[in-house]
Amino acid sequence: MDNLSNINRFIDENIGKPMLEKASDDFTVKMMREIELVKEFQREDKRTFRFVNFAIAGFTALIFAVGTVIIWISSNNIEEQGIDTESTGFALSQLINNLNAKIFGILGVSLTPEVLLYFIGIMFVIFIFSIADKFIFRRSY
């Protein structure tokens, strides 16, 4: 019973009294300043995410453009060498395979069909979880 009275006294002293006290005069000003700061941070976050999305889109477009230029240059070289158009695809395939072998050789990774399937599977799982997180759990970042 003594513990119960100690708990009640603790609640009265630490919770009850502050609720009866008057707030400071500049409380409203401070609260409004905090709200404005939160709004400003939200605007900055939106700008940051918009910039990141544009940067990712730009990087993707750059990769696509570089790939297109490489294909165009290699097709011009193939036509200059007098190779018929049926073997153009084969020559382009060989060029890409050699380029991949050099790049992955530098990185120390071998690109096999199994590695490619693992990579595609991991990307698919990440995609599914991000969709589930957004639509099922209703989170937005």
Per-residue pLDDT of 2-57, as tens digits, reads 666 777 777 777 776 666 667 777 888 888 999 999 999 888 888 888 888 888 88
Q: Specify the pLDDT at position 124.
A: 92
| Buried/exposed code over 77-94 (b: 16+ C-beta within 10 A; e: otherwise) | ebeeeeeeeeeeeeebee
**Does position 126 have pLDDT exceeding 60, yes or no?**
yes
Torsion of CA 76, 81, 86, 88, to 10 degrees: -40
Token output for 51: 């910039």
Question: Residue 114 pLDDT more than 90?
Answer: no
CA pair distance 123, 105, nearest whole angstrom: 23
- Position 16 scores a pLDDT of 63
Please, which residues have CB within 8 angstroms of residue 49's CB and are 6 or more apart in sequence? 141
- Which pLDDT band, with edges at 50, 70 and 90, does 72 fall under? confident
Q: What is the pTM of this model?
A: 0.39
pLDDT at 75: 64
Lookup result for tokens 């477009």:
61
